[in-house]
Chains A and B, each alone.
Chain A
Amino acid sequence: MVICQNEWYGNGGHTIEDTVPIPDGQVVRKKLHFFWIADCSDSMRGKKIATLNQAIREAIPEVQKAVAAYPEVEIFMRAIRFSDDAEWHVGPDPVPVAEFSWPELETSGLTATGKALRLLADELSIERMPRRGLPPVCILVSDGFCTDPSEEYDNAIAELAKIPWGVKAVRLAIAIGDESDYNEPELLKFVNQDQIGLLKAHSPEELVSYIKWASVSASVASSRGRSRGTGSIDDISNVALESPPPMITSNTELF
């Protein structure tokens, strides 16, 4: 076989590339969908909800700053709040992170975590989320036991485990307060980052740190996503996160 390389240097070597208008078609950046799932039940009253509101507001610019290293990525944020019921706090339409602002969460009622996860699962369905794209980021923050029937919570978890984006999403959970106040096994069912586990915020300082770390790390890890072949048993996992920073709890500042 004759192997050679062949090329045209048209117009006697003159550059003519600028004379042709660029083809039509609207270009778009990769979309990263980010979901906050925030507990605003009555037990969150006081320092917990105040810290949560403040921490998420402080986390937004840090997420923007961190993901600026990936200009091909555009983050869209939404938030679900839950107490007696679950509803959109920001959404259902996704908001570009540059335009995202966190409305003050007020507390009341019970802890409908199951309903919140069902709302999330509906939004992660293939009908509403394009197949190709970056893994969504979902961060659940709660301080208590789910007050929905246990089967409702388990059904929501099962739904997340069934839908492709539920599996591929980066799902983290932050538990607030004393470990006797929340149901650790229940919250762990939501988490799909085994190496991270449940993030336990005993103090306002830890809650702020975990909210910032989780939102920034998950966003960066998702943004870094690169193509890979199917076929490995570990394909069910999604992007890998590094370990969270060590926490030093101040005994005087516990929730």
Chain B
Amino acid sequence: MDPPRPFLSACDPALGWAFGCSRAGASHIRSSRPCEDAFAVWSGSSGAIPCIAIAIADGHGDPRHDQSRTGSALAVQAAVDELIGFHRMHMHTIPRHILRSEFRADFPRRVTRRWRDYVQVDVGQREISLPPAGNTGNNGYTRYGSTLIAALIVGDTILIGQIGDGDVVLVRPDGTVECPIPCDTQLMGMETQSLSSRDAHLLWRTATLDRGAGGFLIAATDGVSDSFDGSEGPEFLKFVKSLVARVNEFGIESVAWSMKGWLDRYSELASGDDMTLVFVSINPVEGECGPKPGPEGTAGDEVLSTEGW
């Protein structure tokens, strides 16, 4: 068996690069439960227009979601497939502002449907039984329940979608921190919105940002922010800014290598939860100032890096 990979990465010389790292939580290890997080990073192009797509998912740990490890893996697969499809379908046919509105209008519905299609395939292949949809709010996909955060960097635009908990933060080159999708104030305790929720396509929150001067996009499952003081808390934002500072000082490769140990440490000392973090260095749009390009590595062909299944 191959040794576990410390991180996975994807790169496009024009847009930037991304790496991700996922670790089983300390509490999962103690109870012999697998990591229920998953992530994917992808770079490629369509008609000479490059894009970077990323996705992270956090399968719910509650026993009623006993297939959530598979659910999260299918979620990141569905997200990247849908983002690629979206890119190919829309980049050459519609103006940019319509691209953004189309993303807001279509992506949640399409990715939710795709995830459910993938779940149905898995159900058939593994002969999993799904409880019938009923009046208890169960929509039949509960066993596979997962959150999902997806982002597409293309042209002068950053498109982000999120269902459930987790964090997305963009740090601009001047140090400005943007939280494009504020935390959901309706959620309490350990609850989260889910791909398995009834009317899940209505529970998505989306954001469209200008790529502009570029910056660093960080997406993480809630195990990371819960190890500090929760989403948008001062200590979590301090961590995010410090992470960017480490990249600037030591380089992306060193930080990517260190991430595994850091996430393990946070999980042991704090939340105990699975930990997944995807880091994207986004180059500025040509003519704007921004972060330095990443190291040479993986430019060129389509690359899909996935972890979690």
Q: Identify which of A4, A25, A233 contacts B242 (C-beta below 8 A).
A: A25
User: For residue B246, which residues in chain A have a CB less than 8 angstroms away from its CB?
Assistant: 20-21, 23
Cα–Cα, bound, A11→B306 (Å): 23
Check B129 for interface membership: any CB of A closer than 8 A: no
Please tell me if the beta carbons of A233 and B135 are within 8 angstroms of each other in the complex: yes
Check B113 for interface membership: any CB of A closer than 8 A: no
Instruction: Tally A residues with Cβ within 8 Å of B.
Output: 52
Residue of B nearest to A135 (CB): B189
Please tell me if the beta carbons of B190 and A227 are within 8 angstroms of each other in the complex: yes
Q: A7-B5, A72-B26 are in contact. Are A231 and B272 (CB under 8 A)?
A: no
Cα–Cα, bound, A132→B139 (Å): 25
User: For residue A71, which residues in chain B have a CB less than 8 angstroms away from its CB?
Assistant: 26, 268, 272
Taking the closest CB of chain A, its distance from the CB of B10, in whole angstroms, is 7
Please tell me if the beta carbons of B188 and A26 are within 8 angstroms of each other in the complex: no
Check B62 for interface membership: any CB of A closer than 8 A: yes
Check A225 for interface membership: any CB of B closer than 8 A: yes
Please tell me if the beta carbons of A30 and B197 are within 8 angstroms of each other in the complex: no
Please tell me if the beta carbons of B258 and A227 are within 8 angstroms of each other in the complex: no
Cα–Cα, bound, A21→B302 (Å): 33
Residue of A nearest to B80 (CB): A1
Please tell me if the beta carbons of A225 and B188 are within 8 angstroms of each other in the complex: no
User: For residue B12, which residues in chain A have a CB less than 8 angstroms away from its CB?
Assistant: none
User: For residue B142, which residues in chain A have a CB less than 8 angstroms away from its CB?
Assistant: 229, 232
Instruction: Tally B residues with Cβ within 8 Å of A.
Output: 81
Check A248 for interface membership: any CB of B closer than 8 A: no
Please tell me if the beta carbons of A20 and B188 are within 8 angstroms of each other in the complex: no
Residue of A nearest to B8 (CB): A7
Q: Which of B120-128, B151-159, B227-235, B280-288 contacts A (4 or more CB under 8 A)?
A: B227-235
Q: Which of B174-182, B205-213, B249-257 contacts A (4 or more CB under 8 A)?
A: B249-257
Cα–Cα, bound, A96→B63 (Å): 30
Cα–Cα, bound, A21→B303 (Å): 30
Taken residue by residue from 257 to 283, chain B's Cβ proximity to chain A (1 for < 8 Å, 0 otherwise) reads as: 110111001111111110000000000
User: For residue B268, which residues in chain A have a CB less than 8 angstroms away from its CB?
Assistant: 71
Cα–Cα, bound, A18→B258 (Å): 7
Which residues of A approach B to under 8 Å, CB–CB?
A: 1-8, 10-11, 15-30, 69-73, 130-135, 164-165, 168, 225-235, 238
Given contacts A8-B253, A227-B192, A231-B198, 20 further A-B contacts (CB under 8 A): A5-B8, A6-B298, A6-B303, A7-B7, A10-B254, A16-B258, A20-B258, A21-B246, A23-B243, A28-B227, A30-B271, A71-B26, A130-B230, A135-B189, A165-B189, A228-B61, A229-B60, A232-B142, A233-B136, A235-B137
28 contacts between A and B (CB under 8 A): A3-B304, A5-B306, A6-B297, A7-B7, A8-B7, A16-B257, A22-B265, A23-B242, A24-B241, A25-B236, A25-B239, A30-B270, A72-B271, A72-B273, A132-B165, A132-B188, A132-B222, A168-B188, A226-B60, A227-B58, A227-B165, A227-B190, A228-B192, A229-B164, A229-B192, A229-B196, A230-B194, A231-B194
